[in-house]
Structure 1
Amino acid sequence: MELLTLEHFSGCVNEPFATRLDDVSLEFVLVEARPLGNGATHPVRQPFSLLFRNTAAVVFPQKIYPMHHPRVGEVGIFLVPIAYEKAGFLYQAVFN
């Protein structure tokens, strides 16, 4: 499998990623994709962060979710709930 980079996700902001949890279909919308760090180059990949929003009334546990997007394909993303806003819960994934 190809190493995921920020470029894989930067064109997918405001688009849904589909997953399943206990046989229930869920949708997480990518609301932010940004680089991390001081801009120094890294030998493997530049660290980056993704923020997803889910509008369910409950918070989902931190875990690896098998996410699907038409352009990115099927990838396992470790999501951590980090905040609640009026529009739903925010989840972060950090790639370093």
Structure 2
Amino acid sequence: MLETFTADTFRPLLEERFELVVDEETRFEVELTEVTESGTPGAERRSQFALVFSGPTDPILPQRIYGLEHPQLGSFYLFLVPIAAGRYEAVFT
């Protein structure tokens, strides 16, 4: 599924909420706040892009792979990196 995602997949979902799954018992609501596309092609000749989500500041979640759920996209996994308090980035190359 990730290989089909592009920046255009996420642009209509700006300011929408996603459910971030830490484990079976721990979930957080996060909001997609930025979609940034690079002009440089990445793997498979698709454009590279990054997503930034606003989420919990306490606890600050460590970088790792998290499950995300959204009504339109379903369930998928992303590697998220904390970039500031309450801000998490996923980069697609």
> TM-score band, normalised by the shorter chain?
0.7 to 0.9
Identity of aligned residues (%): 36
Instruction: Indicate whether 1:82 and 2:79 are aligned.
Output: no
Specify every segment of 5 or more residues in structure 2 that has no aligned partner in the other structure, as ranges: none
2:91 pairs with 1:94: yes
Q: Which protein has the larger Cα radius of gyration, Structure 1 or Structure 2?
A: 1
* CA distances 1:54-78 after superposition (whole Å, capped 9, x unpaired): 1342100111111011112211111
Q: Quick one: structure 1 residues 25 and 34, their matched pair in 2 at CA, closer, same or farther if it must change by over 3 Å?
A: same
Does the C-alpha gap of structure 1 residues 40 and 56 become closer, same or farther in structure 2, counting only changes over 3 Å?
closer
Distance 2:52 2:5 in 1: 15
Structure 1: segments with no counterpart, 5+ residues: none
RMSD: 1.7
User: Residue type of the partner of 2:37?
Assistant: P
The worse-fitting range, judged by mean Cα deviation, of 65-74 and 39-48 is: 39-48
TM-score (norm 2): 0.84
**Regions of 4+ moved over 4 Å:** 40-43
Higher helix fraction (1 or 2): 2
* Count of matched residue pairs: 90
Q: What corresponds to 1:50 in structure 2?
A: 51
Whether the aligned pair in 1 keeps the contact of 2:40 and 2:48 (CA below 8 Å) is no
